[in-house]
Structures are given as C-alpha cells and as structure tokens.
Amino acid sequence: MFSHSQTSMPHHPSKSDEVGSRASVEVKECKSPINEQIDMEYCESYVFHALYAYFDGDNVTLKGLAIHGTSIVIGEVNQRKLLKLLSVADSSNDPQLADFVEWVLEGAASVTAAALYLTAAQNAGILRRQQESQKQRSPPPPPLARNEERETRREEEEQTAVVNETKPSCNLFSGKWVYDNASSAMYEDGRCSFMMGDYACEKYGRKDLRYRNWRWQPHHCDLPRFNGTALLEKIRGKRLVFVGDSLNRNQWTSMLCLIESSLNQSSNKSVIRKDNLFIFEATEYNATIEFYWSPLLVESNCDHPFAHSVSDRVVRITSIEKHARHWNDADILVFDSFMWWVMPSMTILWGSFEGSNAIYKRVDKMHLRMYEMALNTWSDWLEFNVNRTKTKLFFMSLSPTHTYGESWNVQQNCYNETEPISKEGYWGVMSDRRMMNIIESTIKKLEMKGVRIEYLNITHLSDYRKDAHPSIYKNFQRSPSEMQLADPKTYADCLHWCLPGVPDVWNHILYYYIMNL
C-alpha cells in the first residue's frame, strides 16, 4: 500500500469557482468496485485515467504530471511542460481546464483533492466535452446498403423456420451434463481443416475420448441444434469477429470446425493473417469469420499474436484505438478478456511504448481495479464509435480453469481427469465472481446509454468440465523438460479446451442468439 499526503486543495479564485464549489460531492469514482469503500489506490488510478481520457493522449500532456509514490509532484521540468499545457488550455477557450492546471501548478499534492476536483468537473460536463466533440467529428458508419440486407423470400422463410425451431423457452445456461454414448461430435479434430495443435487432443495422444460424449442439457428445454448452413446464410455479406485472448481463439476455431461441413468442397479453407487479425472468408457467402488477438482488449506489450510471453506485463490502460480500428466496422463482435488480468503485479503505462515521454507505474494486487479501468476504456469506445443499428455485440464470461484440484477434493490439477464434476452447483476457485461482477456492471451501464451487449455466461456450465482440457495432449511450443516429463501434472494445460468439446457448446448458444438477431 502507498501513503497519501492529505494536502487540501487551495482556494483559487477563478472563473471556475462554480465548478470548484462542487468538489465536496461524493467521489464515487474513488470507490472500490468490490466493496464500495473509498480506496486510495483506486482513487489515484481514476485521477490519471480521467486526465488521459480528457487530453486524448496528447504527448504534451503525457509528461504534464509525474507520479512519485502516490502524490502529484510538480518538478521544474514538469512545471515547464504544464505551463505549455496551460497555454494550450488558454487557447482552447476552456477556462475551467486552465484553472485546473494553474491549481496543480500551485502545488496541490493530494490525490484525493485532485479526484474531488475531477469529479466536480465531470459532473459539470467538462470532462465529456472533448469526447462529445470527437463523436461529432467521427460519426458512426452508415447502415448496410439495401442490397446487402435484401434476401429472397425463400431464404427468409428458411431463416424463420430455423429461428422458430431453435427458440427455447428456458435458460440455456442452467442445466447439467448428460453422458450420451449415442451422441457424436459434429466434426473430428483430425478432419477439421482449421484445427490448431493447441486443441487437437486426440491427435496428440489422448486415448480416452469420453469427454466428447457429454452433452449439455439445459433444464426444461433442449440446446438448439447447430445448423452451419443457416448460420452462414444469416451472416451473408457480413463480418463476424471474435476479439480477445486464446480462449476466444479456442471458440473461433470451434466455430470454423462447426461450419466446415456446410462449405462447398471446392471452398478455399485457408486462414489469412494480417498482423493480429486472422481471417477466414466463406467466399460463396461473401462472409468472414475472424479472430483478433487482443488479450487485454486495451493496448499492451502482449499484443503480438505469438510472441507474447513477457516477464513484466505492461498495459496502456486508456488506449484501445490501435486494436479497435481493425474491427470497428464488424457486424457481429464477440469479446472476451479475463485470464491475462490475473497477475500479482502489472505495470501501467501512460504515453506510448515508442516515446521517451512515457510514465510507468508498477502496481501490485490491483488486477480488479485495472480490469475495471480497461473495461471503462472499452465501453467508452463502444459508446462513441459503435454503429448501434448495425453492429451486434456479445461478451463471453470467463472460461474456468481447473488448475487447483482442491476444488474437487484431489491434490492435483486436470491431469488424468476423465469425468466431469457431478456436484450440481459446483463453483471453481478460479472462477472469480468479482471479475464477473465488474464486466456485468460495465455492460449494464452501457445498456443505460443505449449500447446493448448480450452477456453469454458460460462460466458455470464450463466449470463442471475438469475432464475436457488438453492436459498433456497438445502441441507444446516448448518441449517439456525431463523434470516435467517425470511429473506430467506440472505442465498440463488446464486452461484451454480440447476440440471437439466445451467451446462447441458455447457456439451452439451463440448460434441461437445470432439466429434470433
């Protein structure tokens, strides 16, 4: 924990007194999202999040403030830069901003005071001013042209029939796993053209294939049947983009394997990579099913789709445009982000990775606060950029890991597990309800602003499936050491999922929602 100086905000008679007088309001931005108590570290994070959001990453302001401990300290160099910022503020005809910079120059060291002022300024509508002007400058893309939306009467009738057939009258996420020896997967890992070595468990030596015969049975209804042809017709002329980490790539791979049998045999079944974007085009439908690697959603030093194993995770907590420009015109977006935030310590970066003016701050045990800040950046982008009449949004809840067997009363992980957990209502130790609460709260706030996101809560149904991970049956990028080979559970992958497997169920549910758009 850090210590905070308690210098109060000096009175600064100015044209912004009306705003300054509101500084006594409750600082809800400084409340922890977990226990609703005032939290000084979170308060500090909010101050800098608000400042950078206001100035939109301008390099002049990126060095305007320096963090020493937890106080805003104005040194000689930063005074010069803030004076330059002050001139920019004056030229922008924003007296409140100018007064705020003057106030900082006068030496207000309390993070609490800064947060109070920023709260008052936000309540007065000042901090939203630049975002609103950006919204006016960058209107959302127009809706699809009529000829892209037009379908033949026959196609419409087929679509309606599929929707009516799949529309359940119950909660698809509440149910149990039922062993069905007669059921079979819709594809085999050895015959899917899109299969990756990370998920091809049978190919890499798994002999027990019972995990494929468990089907998800919702209470009071059946899981909708997956119809690849109907889905491809539904997304004809559209972009379906999965955005997130390797669990979303796991689901994307599952989706491609599920629809492959609906493609013409002559179809080109290759995937094109453009930096972080992986694109499969179903040419006969003029549709693409894509995956974009962005494990933290915001910018980080883990953004390379393959070379992302780093010892110190650095996150630009308020920067998302680098990623978002690649999927801002998608018709259907499926997001996820969870596991990459579960770290004992991370580094926040204000500024750019390339610039010399960057400010770095290492934080410990603050992944929940950082997760919320990143989701705020993500939600702000959606609020001001997404085309609400065109783009349909989904967010997948966290995918559980089975790393700690104590949850099901064994002293190891998923290694050698061949049966699901049978205890109804089981909840794994790694399925963090607090992080789920944060994304659920973020989605609710977006919906209040008119941005609708379907939250697909696949956590609980997946939590039972300790038997369905690759374990040691996958293509490891690095060969296990002799020590690991002597104790296989030490290198078992209990995070991702074998295919065919659990992600197919996620896609069955996603399919239902897409078909009912």
Residues recognised as catalytic: 246, 493, 496
Measure Cα distances from 262 to 91, 215, 231 in Å: 60, 22, 9
Q: Which helix (H) or strand (E) holds 66?
A: strand 66-68
Alpha-carbon distance of 446 to 218, in angstroms, equals: 29
Q: Which helix (H) or strand (E) holds 292?
A: strand 287-293
Alpha-carbon distance of 352 to 357, in angstroms, equals: 8
Alpha-carbon distance of 54 to 131, in angstroms, equals: 8
Structure tokens at 399: 């995918």
If you compute the radius of gyration of the chain from its CA atoms, what whole number of angstroms results?
25
Instruction: Encode 112-145: b = buried (16+ Cβ within 10 Å), e = exposed.
Output: bbbbbbbbbbbebebbebbeeeeeeeeebeeeee
Instruction: Encode 413-449: b = buried (16+ Cβ within 10 Å), e = exposed.
Output: bbbebeebbeeeeeebebbbeebbebbeebbeebeee
Alpha-carbon distance of 488 to 319, in angstroms, equals: 40
Name the amino acid, one letter, at 203: K
Look-up: residue for tokens 């789920």?
436
Alpha carbon 384 to its chain's center: 17
Q: Are 447 and 439 in contact (CB under 8 A)?
A: no
Alpha-carbon distance of 370 to 346, in angstroms, equals: 9
Structure tokens at 180: 């069905």
Alpha-carbon distance of 392 to 515, in angstroms, equals: 12
Structure tokens at 226: 């997956």
Alpha-carbon distance of 342 to 318, in angstroms, equals: 19
Contacts with 282 (C-beta within 8 Å, 6 or more apart), sequence order: 232, 259, 263, 267, 288, 289
Q: Is the Cα dihedral 345, 346, 347, 349 positive or negative?
A: negative
Q: Are 442 and 375 in contact (CB under 8 A)?
A: yes
Q: Which helix (H) or strand (E) holds 513?
A: helix 502-515
Alpha-carbon distance of 399 to 403, in angstroms, equals: 12
| Total number of residues shown for the chain | 517
Phi-psi region of 180 (alpha: psi -120 to 50; beta: other; left: phi over 0): beta
